[in-house]
Chain A
Amino acid sequence: MGLIDPSTLPRVLDPALLSELGDGVARVGSAVWSAFDSAHARWAGLRDVFDVRGAEGAYVVLDRPHQDAEEFATALGEARQVLGEAATVLLPPLRQQRAELRQRIDAVNAQAEAAEEEYAMVDRAYWSMLRAEPNSDAVDRLRWDRVEAAAARTRAFDEVTLLSEDIERFRDVVEAEENLIASRLRAITGGDQVRGAWGTPVRVSQTSWGITDSPYPGAPASAATTLTLAGHLQSALSRSVLSRIRWLADADATAVAQWMTAHPDFPSAVGLVDPARAAQLWATLVAASDSVRGAGGKPSRWVRGPLAQLFALAPLAIGNLNGIPAAHRNAFTRQGLTDLLANDDLTDDARAKLKELERVVKRDRDAALLSVFLDSDGSPRAAVAWGNVDAADQITTISHGIDTDLGALGDWTGSAKRVRNELGKQLLVDGAISSTAVVLFMEWDSGTSTTVHGIDRPDAGASRFARLLEGFKQANPGAQRNAVLHSLGTTMAAQAIADHPTLVDNAWFLGSAGLSEGAADALAAQIRRGQIAVHAAHASRDWIAPLGRSPNLGSTHAIDPQTIRGVRPVGADGGFVADYGAHGAVGEAVGGHNAQRSSNPIFWRLDDVVATPRGTTPVFDTESTGYLDKSAESFMHLVVGLAEAARWGKAA
């Protein structure tokens, strides 16, 4: 990424122009009304000079246009109000925001340029000194200066990335306000009804499809926008879900209950809302609600206002929002889980999974339910956290590959908990002071072996994964964000990381099913800029992972992360792990593709195929150590890496 081009900052309409337009529009309306009124009044005198039997219709021929003109003038008056409100209320804050962003662009660009120049200078001096006096103190000093300059450059370009993201968010907001103004104007009607020869109304409509340069095809081009159709839809979805939540908070309770019953899929959309906007909505709702504090440090209970209504009637509309404090989310999601379980329409399979989720949350004091919903085919999805994600110094999110849903909750909650426990012990033994949280992300449909080569499911999962981590960024901006992924989970997370630089600080890819080319390129660039550290483990006995990235089998994500420049390999074939525990330990070899020690499904147990006189015979293990088993070498490297990242920011 280079510096920010100020010309990409979206323009904001000049409020004075809108005021002028509003005045002009009102003048037109007034002139039209006045002209028609005058003409109508004079036409009334026709009766005095024209009297033809059978032609009495002539007397009323201007009645309809007169009425239309009155309605038209009223409509233009409404338009003036809309334009006036836009000029005085909606646009001035945006102009202020734009001015602030413009100032920041200059400052951030200057800082990045200076950091780049400083690094280049120190780098030249270092290499020059190294050639001239390789063993001198000056080389040591310059080596350290070079490290510091590189870190400063990374920080400066992180600011560039953050400002770019703020500009994109601002672009969303500008477009949203323009859409709001446009939709209000479009809603105005009066005196514009087209009628056919017999007085019947004629409808006119315009439909557009696909990607267009302007959000209003055929209209004058608005502020330059590079929003893709997908981005536009995502932004529109975010806005419409938030609008719905506001309605659920205030509307009549019966109407709310009926709407929620008729839209059981709504909770699945809540997690896709922009966390920054979710946080703003949360602040508004909190300000308008009353709570009573729970005893003994318990969270508050909402007793009055919009949050009380939402808790009672639509708890997942809040619980599933990313960007609000997890302590509050947990109360709402657990209420939502209770409501889901009370639904008689659940399938037996869904009920069994949700009941297990209930027990997972209840058995562990450290567990918080971040989200729960039924997806479009009725399968339950969820995310669970261990530790305080609102205050932790480090948040590590774990996710799975194919053939995994809440039916595997037991295995995956065990892994998540074990990572947190072992990491906590590692930090204590090392004397480090750092609080950690681990999150298990099971919100996505990872498909099966028949869909593994596609990119659609990883893309869909990536949207949710990105929102989850953006939510952590919103609620706990100082926390380091790490990710541990298995199999197709690596493909999914890489899609998210590629689109959102600085989303993840350290990532571990275990038994990767491959990355798309675009994601691989983006990751390489982020590694080069020091924005992310990526580690990859692949056990030599894992013959499944390469199948997932085989182009011969049609894989759309064929890049092995181990081949990406800057990705650090992690051992998984058994060996000594220095720094694990107090003095290091020997980890076991991972026996297959599985994440946890398991004898199911059968192909993870398949160790080898041997030739015999009667043909080939498979050789099975009774068990296979998984990538995330506590005795596995890969698990030990992960714990050491996370502990290092907690201390130093990036894992070596």
Chain B
Amino acid sequence: MSDDEWYEDARKLNLAFKENVAEVQSRITDEPWIVDGIYGHVPMDCPGGYQFDMWRSTPADWRAGSDGETAARRLADWLWEQGWSVKLHTYGEGIDNVIITASNNEKHVADLYVNFLIGRHRDIVSLEATSTCQPGDPNELMDILDPGWLTEIEDPAMPETEVPGAPPIFGFNEDGTSRRP
């Protein structure tokens, strides 16, 4: 496989992964989500290959409009209808922290973790997603995605927020500009 072919193959996985996660995000809000550091463009190790992960949380002024268990149950039901394998962790009556863990290999999402934190001062939904594992050396793929430099001085600025479904950055050119589909 040539470098270009491999780039294209990895980009398709990354795009499919992010589009499917974006569908989940949109069920909660379409507003720009905060990127919690991990954008989701760097291949990481998994047994026999590479995978992507992304961490997001709801915007600062977002409110759930309901208690955590109702909001989570709504999302869990939707995920189940869409063919996801879903587990809803609730802690009993009166305890508003609820966590959904889910997976859907057909949608290229090996692990989905959604935590509804409904609080006195803020409501926050945090989401962590990990893609399925693809065969290939993550280091070699990284060399294709990110040619040349590591020094922080030349690092491009990654987005601090992103609307679900926006064309994701995937890789960089030699001059440091980002590549999107």
Q: Is A330 in contact with B152, judged by CB distance below 8 angstroms?
A: yes
Chain B 120-131 per-residue mask, 1 if CB under 8 angstroms from chain A, else 0: 111010100000
| A456 proximal to B (CB < 8 A) | no
Q: Is A298 in contact with B153, judged by CB distance below 8 angstroms?
A: yes
Given known A-B contacts A334-B150, A386-B37, A425-B124, A585 and B95 have beta carbons under 8 A apart: yes
Query: Please, which residues of chain B bring their CB within 8 A of the CB of A581?
Result: 96-97, 117, 119
Query: Please, which residues of chain A bring their CB within 8 A of the CB of B120?
Result: 429-431, 582
| B18 proximal to A (CB < 8 A) | no
| A111 proximal to B (CB < 8 A) | no
B90 to A, closest residue via Cβ: A586
A630–B113 Cα gap in the complex (Å)?
Answer: 11
Complex interface: stretch among B2-10, B39-47, B102-110: B39-47
Query: Please, which residues of chain B bring their CB within 8 A of the CB of A239?
Result: none
Which residue of B37, B91, B142, B149 is within 8 Å of A359 (Cβ)? B142
Which residue of A367, A430, A631 is within 8 Å of B37 (Cβ)? A367
Q: Is A365 in contact with B44, judged by CB distance below 8 angstroms?
A: no
Q: Is A331 in contact with B124, judged by CB distance below 8 angstroms?
A: no
| A580 proximal to B (CB < 8 A) | yes
A581 to B, closest residue via Cβ: B97
Complex interface: stretch among A77-85, A256-264, A350-358: A350-358
Query: Please, which residues of chain A bring their CB within 8 A of the CB of B42?
Result: 359, 362-363
A366 to B, closest residue via Cβ: B37
Query: Please, which residues of chain B bring their CB within 8 A of the CB of A583?
Result: 94-97
| A650 proximal to B (CB < 8 A) | no
Chain A 174-197 per-residue mask, 1 if CB under 8 angstroms from chain B, else 0: 000000000000000000000000
Chain B 74-105 per-residue mask, 1 if CB under 8 angstroms from chain A, else 0: 00000000000000010110111101000000
Q: Which of A301, A356, A425, A581 has the most CB of B within 10 A?
A: A581
| A120 proximal to B (CB < 8 A) | no
Given known A-B contacts A410-B44, A421-B126, A581-B97, A365 and B35 have beta carbons under 8 A apart: yes
Q: Is A430 in contact with B45, judged by CB distance below 8 angstroms?
A: no
Chain B 19-52 per-residue mask, 1 if CB under 8 angstroms from chain A, else 0: 0000000000000000111111111110000000
Interface size on B, residues (CB 8 A): 44
Given known A-B contacts A359-B142, A631-B99, A338 and B150 have beta carbons under 8 A apart: yes
Query: Please, which residues of chain A bring their CB within 8 A of the CB of B57?
Result: 421, 425
A365–B56 Cα gap in the complex (Å)?
Answer: 13
| A134 proximal to B (CB < 8 A) | no
Count class of interface residues, chain A: 35 or more
Given known A-B contacts A294-B153, A359-B138, A364-B38, A586 and B95 have beta carbons under 8 A apart: yes
B35 to A, closest residue via Cβ: A365
Query: Please, which residues of chain A bring their CB within 8 A of the CB of B138?
Result: 356, 359
Chain A 280-298 per-residue mask, 1 if CB under 8 angstroms from chain B, else 0: 0000000000000010101
- From 564 to 589 in chain A, residues with beta carbon under 8 angstroms from any chain B beta carbon are 576, 580-586
Q: Is A334 in contact with B151, judged by CB distance below 8 angstroms?
A: yes
Which residue of B68, B97, B121, B150 is within 8 Å of A362 (Cβ)? B150
Query: Please, which residues of chain B bring their CB within 8 A of the CB of A358?
Result: 142, 150
| B162 proximal to A (CB < 8 A) | no
Q: Is A355 in contact with B117, judged by CB distance below 8 angstroms?
A: no
- From 491 to 533 in chain A, residues with beta carbon under 8 angstroms from any chain B beta carbon are none
| A538 proximal to B (CB < 8 A) | no
Q: Is B153 in contact with A299, judged by CB distance below 8 angstroms?
A: yes
| B166 proximal to A (CB < 8 A) | no
Q: Is A421 in contact with B55, judged by CB distance below 8 angstroms?
A: yes
| B118 proximal to A (CB < 8 A) | yes
User: How near does chain B come to A423, taking the closest CB pair, in angstroms?
Assistant: 12
Chain A 223-238 per-residue mask, 1 if CB under 8 angstroms from chain B, else 0: 0000000000000000
Q: Write 6 A-B pairs (CB below 8 A) sorted by A numbering.
A: A359-B44, A362-B42, A364-B37, A581-B117, A582-B118, A584-B91
Further pairs besides A299-B152, A359-B42: 4, Cβ < 8 Å:
A355-B142, A417-B37, A581-B97, A581-B119
Q: Closest 8 interchain pairs by CB?
A: A363-B42, A429-B119, A431-B121, A366-B37, A582-B119, A581-B97, A585-B97, A355-B139
Query: A residues near B, CB below 8 A?
Result: 294, 296, 298-299, 301, 330-331, 334-335, 337-338, 352, 355-356, 358-367, 386, 410, 417, 421, 425, 428-431, 576, 580-586, 630-631
